[in-house]
Chain A
Amino acid sequence: MKHTLYWLQCGGCGGDTWSLFNARSPDLAECIDLLDIELLWHPSISVMGLTELRDLNSALITGKKPLNILCIEGSVIRGPAGTGMFDEADGRPKKDLVAALAHQADYILAVGTCASYGGIGADREIEATGLHFHKWKQGGFLGESFSSKKGLPVINLPGCPCHCDVVIGTLSMLLSGAEIELNAFGMPLEWYGMMVHQGCTRNEYHEYRVEEKQFGEKGCMFFYLGCHGPLVNGPCNKILWNGRSSKTRVGVPCFGCTRPDFPQQYPFFETRNIEGIPIDLPDGVSRAHYLAYKGMAAAAAPKRLKKRKTGI
């Protein structure tokens, strides 16, 4: 039997969908075919009209038709004043449809940071939240004790947008019955068990504390330009974007878009620091050790790096 999949867009920009269209091998069409997926509904792909969609929704909600995988993109919008009417579907708040479908699904994927943790719009007038988390705190829209029909929590695939390979990889693991190990924030370790910093071509500069204050240079962006690479989890610099590159490789600081509190409440493109040393140090590193290490590193920096001779 084919695996049924339903994709619902809530308070988001559609970027996770268009990112999914970036997939190369397999591409999206191949993936649906190879994983034996029956795509019940996707708002940017499906042709069916509302009468049919309503029949489909009621068959799923009453359990007459099995729902194997529910993918939600975008945050659950609860405003204004808890009504959810800032985002409606068929005359009713879309959040009601999310709840009804979530209780029938074998597995649920929160695709992107908004669906996972609330993202853009969390704590704002639209009262956005994630499916199973609100920022760092478990609970979110479905509540702390929620589990999907197969007994799993919502699987969070953060990223703004989420990388296509992460979505396809997770689907493939789920459908082949592989166990998916999650971290404390519901993210699969396979992709979020590493730092964005790993694999950045500026690592050589980072190592010797050759740091940039200005755009358009080759050095590291951690000290002054607000790069979050060593602070956040994500595979950007391993699997690369569009199969080609990454923000940090071309000189755009990592904004920490996979983090449960993205977007941060202090300015981008700047590093908060005390006497020139970043306040937020690489994940798990102690301040004293870091100061000593960076002092030595800067002293040891070779000329080729100081002169920006090494390519990135």
Chain B
Amino acid sequence: MSAKTVCVVPFNRVEGDLKVRLDIEEGRVTDARCSGIMYRGFENILKGRGPLDGLVITPRICGICSTSHLSAAAKALDSIFGAEVPDNGLRIRNITGMAEMIQNDTRHSFLLFMADFTHPHFRKHPLYEEAQRRYTPMKGSDAVQTVRESRRILEIIALLGGQWPHSSFMVPGGVVTVPSPNDISQCRFMVRHYRRWYERQVLGCAIERWREIQSRKDLDDWLEERPEHQKSAVGFFLRFSEAAKLEEQGRGDGRFISFGGFDMPRETGVKSFGNKDQFLGAGFLADGITASLDQEKIVEDLSHCWFENSGPITQHPFSGETRPYATGSESDRYSWAKAPRYDGHPAECGPLAQLAVAGDPLMGDLAETIGSTLFTRVLARLARTAILLPALEGWLQELADGEGESFHNYDPVNEGEGFGLVEAPRGALGHWVKIRDKKIQTYQIITPTAWNASPRDQKEVRGPIEASLVNTTIENPDDPFEAGLVIRSFDPCLVCTVHAIET
């Protein structure tokens, strides 16, 4: 039997750092452990602060999805104060949240993920040169266009919320902003411009044509239909994946969680995906069945992470504590990330989960026929904009057409508890907040990456990234490049570097 090699993948990303230890036997990953290796202690920073301070502090958790944290914080406060958000407030929250999501999907796909296609690992791939022409960092044609276009869509958030990243324009009861008609018309220019680029460059066809694709077979037909489809970024990804056999890689166990996304205004012409409350419905999808979401079923399991607890090993976030101990050296406990579980199970989140749970025909079909793999995760991220943009346009139009407030005043209460669940660009994000004596008593946050990069739980069940790494073929155990690719398909944001220790 060949020697077992233990590899460590120190992994840099926006929300912190990730390290993955792989056991490799005969060129195959047999086990993986995912460790969050940075701890910033936000939950404790928030304790004892003013009741609205989560609106300022939590966006600073993440530089690429700060608006989503803001939205979760504002929703938690809405529920604590019983604040009702008027329709225009909902519209502005949704428009800005979608703009951030679109930005993230573009940047992750073309700056962070596809950059791997330019790595010498793929030098024998027939499309290697095209990959380099497109995605060489800061030089490739698609990479440079992404730098230019992604910042433009964010101008919408500046016009409606002051700045991106890290504004605090959402407050209990709505948003503080009173945009002028010209601000809104500027936003509409931004969106039109972005749609044009997205259709020409990313899809190679109109969004309406893309959305006619409802199955794997439709997708194959679409690719063959026109040279524009093949030349587009999505077309390139399909061609590249085919030759590199990415479709089967990084298979997850196919349990998905989504907190849904974007609360529907009471009166709107925008059509939701079958749910009157949310544009994309929340739920938990396992074995082909989508169950409605019940936040009571969420717990964090502390059995393998470096946190102390005085109570049971699993806790609902309302009773959760965050007390770090140990120095970060490994044993049974190996992560600064807790292990979130839904109804006792780990769950994958992100664009694929969100769209499959909501019942998007194409992603629903691919999740069922192919499952959760590197390929479906990346494709969902590339295609999500086609779902979001038309709704974003619709709500901007409604903002332009109608008068109406975007903020309702509320009665601040000195005590209460509430939660805010939203879909951030990378998946399910929740804030659970308790207020007592006009101060934050506890504040627990579960980020999307906490779901995906979760360590094991007390039953020794692996988290989604860990599970998806098992069985990955590794050409060179000293440089397990393929593992990095699988990990990045979950959008952990930054480049991966790999390090191997022989044992």
Residues in A lying within 8 Å of B, measured CB to CB? 9, 11-19, 21-24, 27-29, 32, 39, 43-51, 53-54, 77, 80-81, 83, 85-91, 120-121, 124-126, 160-161, 214-218, 236, 240-252, 255, 257, 263, 266-270, 311
Is the Cβ of B406 less than 8 Å from the Cβ of A216?
Answer: yes
A53 to B12, CA, bound (A): 13
**Smallest Cβ-Cβ distance to A241: which chain B residue:** B163
Is the Cβ of A14 less than 8 Å from the Cβ of B62?
Answer: yes
Q: Which of A47, A125, A126, A160 is the most central at the interface, judged by chain B CB atoms within 10 Å of its CB? A: A47
Q: For B62, what are the chain A residues with a Cβ–Cβ distance below 8 Å?
A: 13-15
Q: For A86, what are the chain B residues with a Cβ–Cβ distance below 8 Å?
A: 38-41, 324, 328, 336
Is the Cβ of A241 less than 8 Å from the Cβ of B164?
Answer: yes
**B 170-212 binary contact with A (CB < 8 Å = 1; else 0):** 0101111111100000100000000000000000000000000
Is the Cβ of A43 less than 8 Å from the Cβ of B495?
Answer: yes
Is the Cβ of B40 less than 8 Å from the Cβ of A244?
Answer: no
Please judge, given known A-B contacts A85-B327, A87-B38, A241-B163, whether A270 and B50 are in contact too, CB under 8 Å: yes
Q: For B164, what are the chain A residues with a Cβ–Cβ distance below 8 Å?
A: 22, 241-242
Q: For A246, what are the chain B residues with a Cβ–Cβ distance below 8 Å?
A: 162-163
A62 to B60, CA, bound (A): 35
A215 to B42, CA, bound (A): 26
Is the Cβ of A16 less than 8 Å from the Cβ of B118?
Answer: no
Is the Cβ of B52 less than 8 Å from the Cβ of A50?
Answer: no
**Smallest Cβ-Cβ distance to A43: which chain B residue:** B12
Of the listed stretches B153-161, B296-304, B378-386, B414-422, chain A binds: B153-161
A214 to B83, CA, bound (A): 14
Q: Which of A54, A85, A248 is the most central at the interface, judged by chain B CB atoms within 10 Å of its CB? A: A85
Is the Cβ of A22 less than 8 Å from the Cβ of B151?
Answer: yes
Nearest CB on B from A308, distance (A): 10
Please judge, given known A-B contacts A9-B12, A86-B39, A242-B155, whether A267 and B50 are in contact too, CB under 8 Å: yes
Q: For B144, what are the chain A residues with a Cβ–Cβ distance below 8 Å?
A: 29
Is B249 part of the contact surface with A, judged by Cβ < 8 Å? no
Q: For A263, what are the chain B residues with a Cβ–Cβ distance below 8 Å?
A: 53, 56-57
Q: For B41, what are the chain A residues with a Cβ–Cβ distance below 8 Å?
A: 86, 121, 124-126
Is the Cβ of B327 less than 8 Å from the Cβ of A21?
Answer: no
Is the Cβ of B162 less than 8 Å from the Cβ of A23?
Answer: no
**Smallest Cβ-Cβ distance to A125: which chain B residue:** B41
Chain B positions 104-163 with a Cβ under 8 Å from a chain A Cβ: 107, 111-112, 115-116, 118-119, 137-139, 143-144, 147-148, 150-151, 154-155, 157-163
**Smallest Cβ-Cβ distance to A112: which chain B residue:** B63
Q: For A81, what are the chain B residues with a Cβ–Cβ distance below 8 Å?
A: 327
**B 53-73 binary contact with A (CB < 8 Å = 1; else 0):** 101110011111010000000
A125 to B111, CA, bound (A): 34
Is the Cβ of B40 less than 8 Å from the Cβ of A14?
Answer: no
Is the Cβ of B111 less than 8 Å from the Cβ of A124?
Answer: no
Nearest CB on A from B449, distance (A): 12
Nearest CB on B from A232, distance (A): 14
Is B316 part of the contact surface with A, judged by Cβ < 8 Å? no
Contact of A247 among B53, B64, B169, B174 (CB under 8 A): B169
Is the Cβ of B10 less than 8 Å from the Cβ of A90?
Answer: yes
Is B366 part of the contact surface with A, judged by Cβ < 8 Å? no
Q: Which of B57, B163, B186, B328 is the most central at the interface, judged by chain A CB atoms within 10 Å of its CB? A: B163
Contact of B481 among A28, A49, A266 (CB under 8 A): A49
Is the Cβ of A161 less than 8 Å from the Cβ of B147?
Answer: no
Is the Cβ of A88 less than 8 Å from the Cβ of B37?
Answer: yes
**Smallest Cβ-Cβ distance to B480: which chain A residue:** A49
New A-B pairs, 15, CB < 8 Å, besides A44-B493, A243-B158 = A15-B66, A15-B166, A21-B151, A22-B151, A50-B499, A88-B328, A90-B499, A240-B158, A241-B164, A242-B157, A242-B163, A247-B162, A247-B163, A255-B168, A263-B53
**Smallest Cβ-Cβ distance to A12: which chain B residue:** B63
Is B503 part of the contact surface with A, judged by Cβ < 8 Å? no
Residues in B lying within 8 Å of A, measured CB to CB? 8, 10, 12-15, 17, 19, 37-42, 44-45, 49-53, 55-57, 60-64, 66, 107, 111-112, 115-116, 118-119, 137-139, 143-144, 147-148, 150-151, 154-155, 157-169, 171, 173-180, 186, 324, 326-329, 336, 405-407, 409, 478-479, 481, 493-495, 497-499
A23 to B171, CA, bound (A): 28
Is the Cβ of A14 less than 8 Å from the Cβ of B176?
Answer: no
**Smallest Cβ-Cβ distance to B325: which chain A residue:** A80
Q: For A268, what are the chain B residues with a Cβ–Cβ distance below 8 Å?
A: 50, 52-53, 55-56, 168
A237 to B374, CA, bound (A): 43
A231 to B159, CA, bound (A): 24
Please judge, given known A-B contacts A44-B111, A47-B119, A243-B155, whether A252 and B165 are in contact too, CB under 8 Å: no
Is the Cβ of A215 less than 8 Å from the Cβ of B171?
Answer: yes
Nearest CB on A from B256, distance (A): 26
Is the Cβ of B165 less than 8 Å from the Cβ of A250?
Answer: no
A250 to B479, CA, bound (A): 49
A19 to B63, CA, bound (A): 8
Is the Cβ of B497 less than 8 Å from the Cβ of A50?
Answer: yes
Nearest CB on B from A228, distance (A): 11
A242 to B161, CA, bound (A): 11
Is the Cβ of A27 less than 8 Å from the Cβ of B155?
Answer: no
Q: For A19, what are the chain B residues with a Cβ–Cβ distance below 8 Å?
A: 63, 165
Is the Cβ of A49 less than 8 Å from the Cβ of B155?
Answer: no
Please judge, given known A-B contacts A216-B406, A267-B52, whether A245 and B494 are in contact too, CB under 8 Å: no
Q: For B175, what are the chain A residues with a Cβ–Cβ distance below 8 Å?
A: 216
Please judge, given known A-B contacts A216-B407, A242-B151, whether A121 and B479 are in contact too, CB under 8 Å: no
Nearest CB on A from B476, distance (A): 10
**Smallest Cβ-Cβ distance to B116: which chain A residue:** A47
Q: For B154, what are the chain A residues with a Cβ–Cβ distance below 8 Å?
A: 22, 242
A39 to B494, CA, bound (A): 16
Is the Cβ of A83 less than 8 Å from the Cβ of B327?
Answer: yes
Is the Cβ of A14 less than 8 Å from the Cβ of B167?
Answer: no
Nearest CB on B from A99, distance (A): 18
Is the Cβ of A51 less than 8 Å from the Cβ of B162?
Answer: no
Please judge, given known A-B contacts A15-B66, A244-B159, A251-B177, whether A121 and B45 are in contact too, CB under 8 Å: yes
Q: For B494, what are the chain A residues with a Cβ–Cβ distance below 8 Å?
A: 14, 43-44
Q: For B118, what are the chain A residues with a Cβ–Cβ distance below 8 Å?
A: 47
Q: For A124, what are the chain B residues with a Cβ–Cβ distance below 8 Å?
A: 41, 44-45
Is the Cβ of A11 less than 8 Å from the Cβ of B38?
Answer: yes
Please judge, given known A-B contacts A13-B15, A268-B56, whether A120 and B147 are in contact too, CB under 8 Å: no
